[in-house]
Amino acid sequence: MKYYILLLVAFISVNLSFSQQDPQYTQYMYNTQIVNPAYVGSKETLGVGLLYRTQWVGFDGAPKTGTLTFNTPIGELKRMGLGFSIVSDKIGPSAETNFVVDYSYSLVLSEISRLSFGIKAGVDILDVDYNKLNIYDDYDPQFENNVDKKLQPQIGAGIYYNTDKLYLGLSVPNFLNSEHYNTGSLDDVNVNAVAIERLHYFFIAGYVFDLSENVKFKPATMFKAVSGAPLQADVSANFLFNEKFTLGAAYRWDAAFSGMAGFQINNNMFIGMGYDYQTTDIQAYSNGSYEIFLRFDVFNKTERILTPRFF
């Protein structure tokens, strides 16, 4: 029972206090397309990514997130990129699915650098089943009607600069302040509560240092800002050994410590895993958060395959 009570408190606080609402990722540096559409096409190969995250393991109704991303350069000069993504995010009684198309156009600044501009557009589908909650008052009108396939549009944009060692990005995945549930006042018991998705601003950056012939070091960071919540900062340090093994650690400010490991199976396939240890009180009720990531890069037969890029 206590887990359902805690979940209900967390669910209401997330949706009514306008805190950060977008899914959280430990391996955000390998899932850039979700937050920044200008990233698509930047690798100049067709890429497919799969990510699954289970957060706060052991906590009933805890968040579970899955993503599927696809992106490829298009055009003879490969200055444009096209992508598609699906994000499934479940927490407690709510299930949210996001379908988005991404497009980018790049300005080639030099042989190793380019500046890309991207837009994304899609639709978000929300379902909320209040029957999954242990509600104190079965006749509470706030939980009388489930939310069934509520559609909301999404429009976002971003810019992305990269060389063979550096990347910088700034983006807003969704410019629309979407309202979930039915509009109305919380003082009116005849309507459901309102949850508004605020604008999320993302800044990402990373740089690859060649420490030796066989060791690369990549510090990376992501800042996320949204109205009504503190600035969130993620910093990470990743090492690549012999172009095959990746080991890293990260810290999410006032939230979690993370460990990451990855393996470049071949030139086309990479697998990565992550673990979060929460530094908040919620760690007392969970066994941390786990994440697994798969990336497939498809090269043309005429392309010369060099060492896999470290971002």
- Confidence at residue 301, expressed as pLDDT on a 0 to 100 scale: 56
Return d(Cα 61, Cα 69) in angstroms, integer.
25
In 15-172, DSSP assigns E strands to: 46-54, 64-74, 80-91, 94-108, 114-128, 147-162, 166-172
Find which of 28-37, 100-109, 143-152, 219-228 is predicted with most confidence, using mean pLDDT: 100-109
Return d(Cα 32, Cα 120) in angstroms, integer.
13
What DSSP string runs through 246-272? Answer: EEEEEEETTTEEEEEEEEE-SSSEEEE
pLDDT digits (tens, 9 = 90+) for 262-304: 999 998 899 999 999 999 888 888 889 999 999 999 876 555 4
Residue 130's nearest CA partner among 16, 23, 12 is: 12
Q: Which two tokens stand for residue 222?
A: 């992501």
Residues 6+ apart with CB under 8 A from 182: 191, 192, 194
pLDDT digits (tens, 9 = 90+) for 114-125: 999 999 999 999
pLDDT digits (tens, 9 = 90+) for 204-254: 999 999 999 999 999 999 999 987 778 899 999 999 999 999 999 999 998
CATH of domain 2-298: 2.40.160.40
The position carrying tokens 């990269």 is: 162
CA distances from 52 to 23, 105, 111 (A): 11, 29, 35
The secondary structure of residue 112, as a DSSP letter, is S
CB 175 within 8 A of CB 155: yes
Out of 21-25, 147-151, 233-237, pick the least confident.
Answer: 21-25
- Confidence at residue 90, expressed as pLDDT on a 0 to 100 scale: 93
Residue 184 has pLDDT above 70, yes or no: no
Residue 241 amino acid letter:
F
Q: What is the SS3 assignment for 10?
A: helix
The secondary structure of residue 17, as a DSSP letter, is T
Residue 228's nearest CA partner among 193, 189, 199, 268 is: 199
Return d(Cα 172, Cα 289) in angstroms, integer.
26
CB 65 within 8 A of CB 55: yes
Domain ranges of the chain: 2-298
Residue 89 has pLDDT above 90, yes or no: yes
CB 116 within 8 A of CB 102: no
CB 161 within 8 A of CB 115: yes
Q: Which two tokens stand for residue 58?
A: 């052991």
Q: Global pTM?
A: 0.83
Radius of gyration of the chain (CA): 20
- Mean pLDDT, residues 125-140: 79
What is the length of the chain? 311
Return d(Cα 266, Cα 24) in angstroms, integer.
28
pLDDT digits (tens, 9 = 90+) for 54-79: 999 988 888 999 999 999 999 888 89
Out of 46-55, 65-74, 157-166, 176-185, pick the least confident.
Answer: 176-185
- Confidence at residue 13, expressed as pLDDT on a 0 to 100 scale: 38
